[in-house]
Structure 1
Amino acid sequence: MRRTASPLSLVLLGTGVFLLVLAPLLTWYVSPRAKSNPIDIDTTTVFEGTGSYFDTKDLKTVTGAPLTITRQVRGDVADSLKSGRAVWDVSTSVDHEGTLPAADTTDSLQWTLERWVTDRRTNEPVHCCKEQPVFDGEAYLKFPFDVEKRSYRWWDGTLGSTVVLRFDGTKKIHGYEGYRFTGSVPPTRTGTRMVPGRMVGLPKRGQVLAEEWYANHGIELVVDKRSGRIVNAAIGPRKTVRAPGSKKDSMVLLDSERMEFTEATQRAQVRQAGADSDKLRLVGETLPMGGGAAGLVLAATGLVFVVRGRRSERTAP
């Protein structure tokens, strides 16, 4: 006797099988590719705090002054597409009230322009594409995807080396919970600069090749655990100058106990982290689990209808 199945049973069975195949595909193929550093990034983050800085006009250290750090990150799309990496140009300026708004970055207390190149999936540094400076570590402007509860090596550009940041629980920023990482930098010699001798306690010498020292009172980063985006950052930079061979600071160039993301920056970072996290959760968890469950139900239902249809054909007079 000819065996037939209803169109509805075949549609249910076919749809169920499709969803069952799609679920692992989303988990093992689509989701890993969704975890990729963007190449068209264009963000600005602002730190604010109070502290001391050296006034080059009056040749003295000003204390208790408002300080601002502005960092702009722009992706070089052309170089990123050509290399297959995430190529980001990073402009960082440190200002006081007298240099804001800065018409020219050279008016700032400090200004740097860097090019950071990373593997788009692993976030590891890649040394190509006119990278400057050559850097190392695991975390930089962001952490890797799927952040773990462990210590990370974070690159400190002023130090020119990595700093170990320890996992220190969780913290909410505007209601959004992230992983908290903390660390500090002890006083470390980072270079030299030529200064008048009187500025380092050597008035009888015209110019002195003084030592530059750097420390960080405390680093606190709150990170979105899925995307690795930093939703809040606080740092305590201290830059000083010492006479050659001295163990004491002679002049303070910059010192702040704590400079932190502004409220506006925090909200913008939280908003973007939430959007990124939702996309990753949708592709990596919601769709595969929901699709797999729906596929199982539809395939089972369709199979039951097919079997029943065949039995009805057999028993029909």
Structure 2
Amino acid sequence: MRKILGRLLLAVGGFLLIAGVLATVWAPGVVKKTPIDVDTTTRLDGVATKLGETFPVQVTSVTRSDTEASTDETAIWVNTSCVVDNSEGDAPDCVDGDDPRLVSASIGTFATDRETALATDHENLPPGTTPYEGIVNKFPFDAEARDYPYWDGTIGRAVPAEFVETTEIDGLDVHHYRVEVLDEDIEVAEDTPGSYSQTVDIFVEPDTGAVVNQQQSQQRYLEDGTQVLDLNVAFTDEQLETSIADAKDNKASLALITSTLPLVGFLGGAVALVAGVLLLVTGRRKTSTHEAAHREAVPV
């Protein structure tokens, strides 16, 4: 019985050690990659002042991955964003260009590296796609306490997302980054030159790279200094609650695969192997002692 149990423990120990090695070496490279089956809607709200009139607004950003066009290394994305006057309440996510409630709308197609999360070029992007650069929709797994390049679609280039601090939101540790753009020349409307300034505060759960909150303040001016837009928005309360809950769940799942499983594999495997060896050794000693006693009892 000791031999059977010992051999069983050896097999279990070997299996657990192999599982620990796989969880350490192989699993992180699989789970720490941006998924390509994403379909998310992010909602912000706040206040806008346009041409002297102040009103509440809602922002709806829909991000979908193109699973068929994506590859093992690259994720292909389509993002639509719409800012709508919500003075009457219950405004739709977006309206057409003839609707006076429309403040702004945009659509973008881009590709990101599934490990670094940085924008990249890819042959599966539609012809004529605007080249993106830097961070676009999420930060990398294991986001660091350092600056990152961050895509600004209004000026068409990446600007620094500067690391500010590590802080806490509802019990969740997050990295706070800040993006600042000051007096950049743009067209505030078709054939109407002007300038643009913006500050974006981004709060990121570092293990997963997920954005859990965002606060944005944007101003646009005509060349003579007349302000045509002052927009101040942040994640809605419901969006913030959902983002934090999702980040906590995904962080726990990631820790289970990359930390808990290797620990269980190595410790459990070592204990099982030692126990198995001890059972086999003690079993052999008892067998040897019994055989010796039997030989001594046989008359010559």
**Does TM, scored on the shorter chain, surpass 0.5?**
yes
Tell me the equivalent position of 1:180: 176
Return the match for 1:210 from 187, 192, 196: 192
Q: Is the partner of 1:290 in helix, strand or coil?
A: helix
Q: Give the Cα–Cα distance (whole angstroms) in 2 for the partners of residues 62 and 171 of structure 1.
A: 36
Return the match for 1:101 from 88, 92, 96: 92
Q: Is the partner of 1:236 in helix, strand or coil?
A: strand
Q: Deviations over 1:253-291 (max 9, x none)?
A: x212x3110011111111221121111101110110122
Q: Is the partner of 1:70 in helix, strand or coil?
A: strand
Return the match for 1:28 from 20, 25, 29: 25
* Structure 2 residue 117 is the aligned partner of structure 1 residue 130: no
Structure-to-structure mapping, 1:285-296, within 5 angstroms: 285-296=259-270
Structure-to-structure mapping, 1:124-163, within 5 angstroms: 124-128=118-122, 129-130=124-125, 132-137=129-134, 139-163=135-159
Q: Deviations over 1:153-202 (max 9, x none)?
A: 111212222221222222333332211112311110134754xxxxxxxx
* Structure 2 counterpart of 1:114, one-letter code: G
Give yes or no for contact 2:164–2:176 (8 Å, CA) kept in 1.
yes
Tell me the equivalent position of 2:252: 278
* Structure 2 counterpart of 1:224, one-letter code: E
* Structure 2 residue 164 is the aligned partner of structure 1 residue 168: yes
Extract unaligned runs of 5+ from structure 1: 54-60, 195-208, 243-247
* Structure 2 residue 14 is the aligned partner of structure 1 residue 17: yes
Q: Give the Cα–Cα distance (whole angstroms) in 2 for the partners of residues 96 and 174 of structure 1.
A: 30
Q: Deviations over 1:23-63 (max 9, x none)?
A: 1211110122111112121111111111312xxxxxxx133
* Structure 1 counterpart of 2:92, one-letter code: P
Extract unaligned runs of 5+ from structure 2: 294-300
Return the match for 2:81 from 92, 114, 119: 92
Tell me the equivalent position of 2:46: 49
Tell me the equivalent position of 2:283: 309
CA RMSD of aligned residues (A): 2.1
Shift of the 184–18 alpha-carbon distance from structure 1 to 2, 3 Å rule, reads same
Deviation at 1:97, TM superposition (A): 2.2
Q: Give the Cα–Cα distance (whole angstroms) in 2 for the partners of residues 98 and 63 of structure 1.
A: 11
Q: Is the partner of 1:37 in helix, strand or coil?
A: coil
Give yes or no for contact 1:93–1:105 (8 Å, CA) kept in 2.
no
Q: Give the Cα–Cα distance (whole angstroms) in 1 for the partners of residues 33 and 13 of structure 2.
A: 30
Give yes or no for contact 1:219–1:234 (8 Å, CA) kept in 2.
yes
Give yes or no for contact 1:50–1:67 (8 Å, CA) kept in 2.
yes
Instruction: Calculate percent identity across the aligned residue pairs.
Output: 27
Q: Give the Cα–Cα distance (whole angstroms) in 2 for the partners of residues 51 and 307 of structure 1.
A: 78
27-36 vs 224-233, greater mean Cα deviation: 27-36
Q: Give the Cα–Cα distance (whole angstroms) in 2 for the partners of residues 105 and 226 of structure 1.
A: 39
Deviation at 1:18, TM superposition (A): 1.5
Give yes or no for contact 1:85–1:117 (8 Å, CA) kept in 2.
yes
Q: Deviations over 1:93-150 (max 9, x none)?
A: 111126922563433221111112112222122212226331111x221100001111
Shift of the 10–36 alpha-carbon distance from structure 1 to 2, 3 Å rule, reads same
Size of the aligned set, in residue pairs, is 283
Tell me the equivalent position of 1:206: none
Q: Give the Cα–Cα distance (whole angstroms) in 2 for the partners of residues 49 and 103 of structure 1.
A: 16
Give yes or no for contact 2:120–2:133 (8 Å, CA) kept in 1.
no
Query: What TM-score do you get using the length of structure 1 for normalisation?
Result: 0.83
Shift of the 211–119 alpha-carbon distance from structure 1 to 2, 3 Å rule, reads same
Q: Give the Cα–Cα distance (whole angstroms) in 2 for the partners of residues 167 and 285 of structure 1.
A: 26
Give yes or no for contact 1:20–1:295 (8 Å, CA) kept in 2.
yes
* Structure 2 counterpart of 1:130, one-letter code: L
* Structure 1 counterpart of 2:286, one-letter code: S
Give yes or no for contact 1:87–1:117 (8 Å, CA) kept in 2.
yes
Give yes or no for contact 2:24–2:262 (8 Å, CA) kept in 1.
yes
Q: Give the Cα–Cα distance (whole angstroms) in 1 for the partners of residues 149 and 210 of structure 2.
A: 16
